[in-house]
Amino acid sequence: MNDICRLLKSLKAKKDNLFAMATICRVDGSAYRREGAKMLICGDGSYYGTISAGCLEQDLIYQAEDVISTLVPKTVQYDLRSVDDLSWGQSAGCDGNIEVYVEPIGWNLNKLKEDLLLWPHIDEQLNKGFTVVSIKCLTPEAMHNPVILSFDHEMMDVKFNDIDIPPIFTPLVNQFLQERVKVKFIRLNELQADFLFELYEPKEQLFVFGAGPDAEPLVELASRTDFSVVVIDPRESRCNETYFPQADKRIVEHPATFFANRTIPENVYVLVMTHNFNRDREILQHLLQNPPKYIGVLGPKRRTERLINDKEALSHIYSPIGLDIFAEGPEEISISVVAQLIQIRNQTLKQQRIQRAVECWSH
């Protein structure tokens, strides 16, 4: 799950409100969610996201009330390993020790000077496709504005509020990226301060060629599971907000026009489901010149084999698409397809992006 993109959407929808953000920063043992999981808590007790299966949320709402009223962050520890009646372990269903950092945040509130431009800036970087590292000082007497670093194919050093990044952070960022974790506390004795390092990643892009009825549940489910979905179809009567309200973009074009004006990036997912043999063939001819991370073709494998001339190119194609759960009908097939996308994303996303960022930072 990409918690930060979901929470930024909620934060942006209530720009003048004050919230508390709870982030799991350490887990010892088992837990429902791992390090980096987040939830956003409003002053009225409502919240977005979840970091447990309901075991911790009620107490975190209580903790959030204190954080919002005092504007002072805190770290809360929940030991779910104990089974006595006074512990968090009672009926929790987990067997871990969980540490949660709760901090006051806002989109553009003057009362939170350090957050004045922080979250709009992070949102902007993620929307550009950048991977972001945030470094926050947690020691009250040494508090200063966060440092934001953005990474893409080439190293981008984005200074938040013109803050110079101390050289001491260079190896720490390197190590943080190499460890492939979302969040980490780091004590810097040289600066006599504690810092919170966080890794934020943009949504993965999914291009869907074909706006048929069977694409509707797929696009909705993919969007709900943190894919940024683009639907491409020449039919204006189908490729519109009425049928695909969850899509980030709807492009009414024939494949030839689309590829004449654009290039599909190599780190995206593509589904080919136009139900038109010649159109599918044309799309695959373009895609296979520089194959993206994932190419899935709707239909049986023998049909896909007929679509391409170079049979060795089949190694770049998932056909039939989806995990084998004996799915029938658009809804079940959509579940199997999105499950496969999530499986591939979780296997490769961190390795590819973090390795790229490490290489760029090192140079």
Query: Which amino acid is it at 161?
Result: N
pLDDT of residue 152: 63
pLDDT of residue 325: 93
Let me know how long the chain is.
363
pLDDT of residue 89: 45
CATH of 204-348 given 1.10.150.20, 3.40.50.720, 3.90.190.10, 3.40.50.300: 3.40.50.720
What is the model's pTM? 0.77
Buried b (16+ CB within 10 A) or exposed e, 135-146: bbbbeeeeeebb
Buried b (16+ CB within 10 A) or exposed e, 264-289: beebbbbbbbbeeeebbebbbbbbbe
* Tokens, residue 19: 């919230």
Residue ranges, comma separated, of all CATH 3.40.50.720 domains in the chain are: 204-348
Residue with tokens 């190293």: 155
Query: Which residues fall within 8 angstroms of residue 175, CB to CB, at 6 or more apart?
Result: none
3-state secondary structure string across the chain:
CCHHHHHHHHHHHCCCCEEEEEEEEEEEECCCCCCCCEEEEECCCCEEECCCCCCCHHHHHHHHHHHHHHCCCEEEEEECCCCCCCCCCCCCCCCEEEEEEEEEEECCCCCCHHHCCHHHHHHHHHHCCCEEEEEEECCHHHCCCCEEEEECCCEECCCHHHCCCCCCHHHHHHHHHHHCCCEEEEEECCCCEEEEEEEECCCEEEEEECCCCCHHHHHHHHHHCCEEEEEECCCCCCCCCCCCCCCCEEECCCHHHHHHHCCCCCCCEEEECCCCHHHHHHHHHHHCCCCCCEEEECCCHHHHHHHCCCHHHHHHCECCCCCCCCCCHHHHHHHHHHHHHHHHHHHHHHHHHHHHHHHHHHC
Digitized pLDDT (tens) for each residue of the chain, 363 residues in all:
788 888 898 888 888 889 999 998 888 876 778 888 899 999 888 888 888 877 788 899 999 999 999 988 888 988 876 555 444 444 445 567 888 999 998 887 655 555 446 888 889 888 888 888 888 888 766 556 677 787 764 444 555 545 566 778 888 888 888 787 888 888 888 888 888 899 988 899 999 999 999 999 999 999 999 999 999 999 999 999 999 999 999 999 999 999 998 989 888 999 999 999 999 999 999 999 999 999 999 999 999 999 998 888 888 999 999 999 999 999 999 999 999 999 998 886 556 555 655 555 565
Q: Is the distance from CB of 223 to CB of 245 less than 8 angstroms? A: no
Q: Measured between alpha carbons, how far is 334 from 215 in angstroms, rounded to an integer?
A: 8
Q: Measured between alpha carbons, how far is 78 from 80 in angstroms, rounded to an integer?
A: 6
CA angle 181, 187, 190 (to 5 degrees): 135
pLDDT of residue 64: 93
Q: Measured between alpha carbons, how far is 253 from 235 in angstroms, rounded to an integer?
A: 8
pLDDT digit string (tens) for 35-78?
Answer: 888 999 998 888 888 888 777 888 999 999 999 999 888 889 88
The count of other CB atoms within 10 Å of the CB of residue 168 is 10
